[in-house]
A and B are shown apart, each in its own frame.
Chain A
Amino acid sequence: MGVFRSLVALFLRLLATRGRLVVLSALTAGMIPLALYTGNRELPQLETWRLFQSYALGGIVPVSALVLGSSAFGDLIDDRTLVHLWLRPANRFVIVVAAWTAVVVVCAPFAIGGSAIALAVAGMPSGAIVAGAVSTVLGVLAYGAVFLALGLRVRRALAWGLAYILIWEGVLANVGSGLARIALRLSTKSIAFRSFADADLRFALSARAAALVLLGVTGVALGLAHRWLTNAEVS
């Protein structure tokens, strides 16, 4: 097994704890009452779509990426085991990408699978499910990279990340277009809404621009994580 695969396997073991899997399962299970609610109320398709995407892209994707991403290096720093990986001549970028890959691998099945199943149960067309899956995948990549980097940079990254999701993305991003554009949620929602029935969304980007933003953020965040890991003060 090569070093990259070994590291991914290691991070998967470190990240996939019972507690975290329970949190991710609970988040995903929240889709079930939503599906029952929309089914009982016989809401218009677009309204159902909005509700699901708000929950999936505003809740499941960022929170699950935060729980895993902030822990990938954050836990190693907290329990002082980072030294075992750090004090080696290996390329730091390999370590960063391996950790990020593990975050995505654990996060994606919950985020994508959960929302896709719920959308199917709610009777949404396949185009909607595909649009939801694409936006979710790109969201997981970007949020995962951002929160991975955050875990390297600050203590209590989970609290900082939650503050970002709840305050910035949940409140401030709805105030003005400038603030909204800094929120990743605008990009994930733009892809989902533009790809399905060209639904209306405040401050929306084009689907292509939104995808580029998410991929760009992913690249920048991984670059910063590499830099911060390289220059880390390790205990």
Chain B
Amino acid sequence: MSSLTPSSPVVFNEVSKWFGPVVAVSDVSFTIGNGITALLGPNGAGKSTVMRLLCGLTKPSSGTVLIYGANPREDRSVFGRIGLVPQQETVLEPITCLRFVTITAQLSGVANPEAAARDAVSLVELDPDDARPLAEYSKGMRQRVKLAAAIVHHPSLLILDEPLNGLDPRQRLRMIEIFHELGTGDRCVIVTSHVLEEVERFGSRIILIAEGRLAAEGEYSEIRSLMEDRPLRVRVGTNEPRQLASALVGSESVRSLTVVGNDLLAEVVDIATFRRLLPRLGVDIGASIHEITPLDEDLESVFRYLVARRHA
């Protein structure tokens, strides 16, 4: 996936995008082939900007974006091969679901737009004959309406920006099933998410974006192990922080130790060994340990670690 192949559905080559002084995407390169690929990153990481660049919705400040070999900002015909489910909930409120999907089919040049719209709406388990305007639809229903509009013209590249937002668990399962169905064959499906466990269910390859940079890319299992291998910062609450730090010096499970007041801050490379070692040392030196708190288990810190690791 990392080698740049012009024939790949998606080629991102040294792409940067900035808005005034704010750098949203910085020097990102990757290629994406057929199948499901997840674009993973915390909120504000630059995923949606990457999505917009992919679709030609915004122009890169530098670098090249190619979709099936074409620049989406210059070659409008490539839009016929792209289906996008945008992140925003809003749809064209005053019209019905069928009307909305039919118009998008017409704009895509589909031969029999209403029949195609009926098929697409049925596929996402909505009623094509529902006479209610979209303004009366729930968030989950709107999400499915957007999916119907995205697939009505049978795109070969389907881009889904946080598609599970607002769905209940049953709807999530059904949507994931649909993504799997859509991701088979010669179709490229790109899904963004900020939830690692969600991505696991897509069973996909991952491109990990953090702070506008490419933090990692590979199969889900590779990314997961990268995350699990990182050092963890742990705060140990104890009445004898200095003695405990002295006792820990030399342990291979610890990379660094810092005493702050009554707390001992440890950078741990092997958390399992550290957890076994700590009570024993406490007993040996007569220190009471009343708290062991991991400081950076949130996803954002994982991403930060991977970015730093990549650029080290």
Q: Which residues of A contact B (CB under 8 A)?
A: 2-3, 6-7, 10, 13-14, 79-81, 83-90, 92, 95, 233-235
Q: How far apart are the CA atoms of A84 and B104 in the complex, in Å?
A: 7
Interface bits B90-116 vs A (CB < 8 Å: 1, else 0): 111011000110111011110000000
Q: A7 — nearest CB in chain B belongs to which residue?
A: B103
Whether the Cβ atoms of B57 and A89 lie closer than 8 Å is: no
Q: Which residues of B contact A (CB under 8 A)?
A: 52, 55-59, 76-80, 82, 84, 86, 88, 90-92, 94-95, 99-100, 102-104, 106-109, 149
Whether the Cβ atoms of B52 and A234 lie closer than 8 Å is: yes
Extra contacts, 17 of them, besides A6-B102, A13-B94 (Cβ < 8 A), are A3-B103, A10-B92, A14-B94, A81-B92, A84-B86, A84-B104, A87-B56, A87-B82, A88-B104, A88-B107, A89-B76, A89-B107, A90-B106, A90-B107, A90-B108, A90-B109, A92-B76
Closest chain-A Cβ to B75's Cβ sits at a distance in Å of 9
Closest chain-B Cβ to A119's Cβ sits at a distance in Å of 34
Can you identify 11 A-B contacts, CB atoms within 8 angstroms?
A: A10-B103, A80-B88, A81-B92, A84-B149, A87-B55, A88-B104, A88-B108, A89-B79, A90-B106, A233-B58, A235-B88
Q: B79 — nearest CB in chain A belongs to which residue?
A: A89
Which one of B80, B86, B99, B103 lies within 8 Å of A80 (CB-CB)? B86
Given A7-B103, A10-B103, A87-B57 contact (CB < 8 Å): yes
Closest chain-A Cβ to B115's Cβ sits at a distance in Å of 14
Closest chain-A Cβ to B123's Cβ sits at a distance in Å of 18
Closest chain-A Cβ to B208's Cβ sits at a distance in Å of 23
Q: B56 — nearest CB in chain A belongs to which residue?
A: A87
Whether the Cβ atoms of B59 and A85 lie closer than 8 Å is: no
Q: A10 — nearest CB in chain B belongs to which residue?
A: B103
Whether the Cβ atoms of B84 and A87 lie closer than 8 Å is: yes
Whether the Cβ atoms of A234 and B108 lie closer than 8 Å is: no
Q: How far apart are the CA atoms of A79 and B103 in the complex, in Å?
A: 18
Chain A residues whose CB sits within 8 angstroms of the CB of B79 once the complex forms: 87-89
- Sorted nearest first, the 10 A-B pairs with minimum C-beta distance are A88-B107, A90-B107, A3-B106, A234-B57, A89-B80, A13-B94, A89-B79, A80-B88, A79-B90, A233-B58
Whether the Cβ atoms of B92 and A84 lie closer than 8 Å is: yes
Whether the Cβ atoms of B107 and A85 lie closer than 8 Å is: yes
Q: B72 — nearest CB in chain A belongs to which residue?
A: A87
Whether the Cβ atoms of A233 and B59 lie closer than 8 Å is: yes
Whether the Cβ atoms of A234 and B58 lie closer than 8 Å is: yes
Q: How far apart are the CA atoms of A175 and B57 in the complex, in Å?
A: 44
Q: How far apart are the CA atoms of A79 and B106 in the complex, in Å?
A: 22
Whether the Cβ atoms of A14 and B92 lie closer than 8 Å is: yes
Closest chain-A Cβ to B213's Cβ sits at a distance in Å of 22
Which one of B52, B82, B90, B102 lies within 8 Å of A81 (CB-CB)? B90
Q: How far apart are the CA atoms of A215 and B156 in the complex, in Å?
A: 43
Q: B103 — nearest CB in chain A belongs to which residue?
A: A6
Chain A residues whose CB sits within 8 angstroms of the CB of B80 once the complex forms: 88-89
Q: How far apart are the CA atoms of A87 and B149 in the complex, in Å?
A: 11
Whether the Cβ atoms of A233 and B108 lie closer than 8 Å is: no
Most buried by A among B58, B84, B91, B103: B103
Q: B59 — nearest CB in chain A belongs to which residue?
A: A233
Q: How far apart are the CA atoms of A13 and B58 in the complex, in Å?
A: 28
Chain A residues whose CB sits within 8 angstroms of the CB of B91 once the complex forms: 81, 84
Q: How far apart are the CA atoms of A89 and B155 in the complex, in Å?
A: 12
Q: B88 — nearest CB in chain A belongs to which residue?
A: A80
Chain A residues whose CB sits within 8 angstroms of the CB of B76 once the complex forms: 89, 92
Closest chain-A Cβ to B163's Cβ sits at a distance in Å of 15
Chain A residues whose CB sits within 8 angstroms of the CB of B107 once the complex forms: 3, 85, 88-90, 95
Q: How far apart are the CA atoms of A6 and B105 in the complex, in Å?
A: 11
Closest chain-B Cβ to A1's Cβ sits at a distance in Å of 8
Q: How far apart are the CA atoms of A235 and B86 in the complex, in Å?
A: 9
Closest chain-B Cβ to A4's Cβ sits at a distance in Å of 9
Closest chain-A Cβ to B302's Cβ sits at a distance in Å of 28
Chain B residues whose CB sits within 8 angstroms of the CB of A2 once the complex forms: 106
Whether the Cβ atoms of B108 and A89 lie closer than 8 Å is: yes
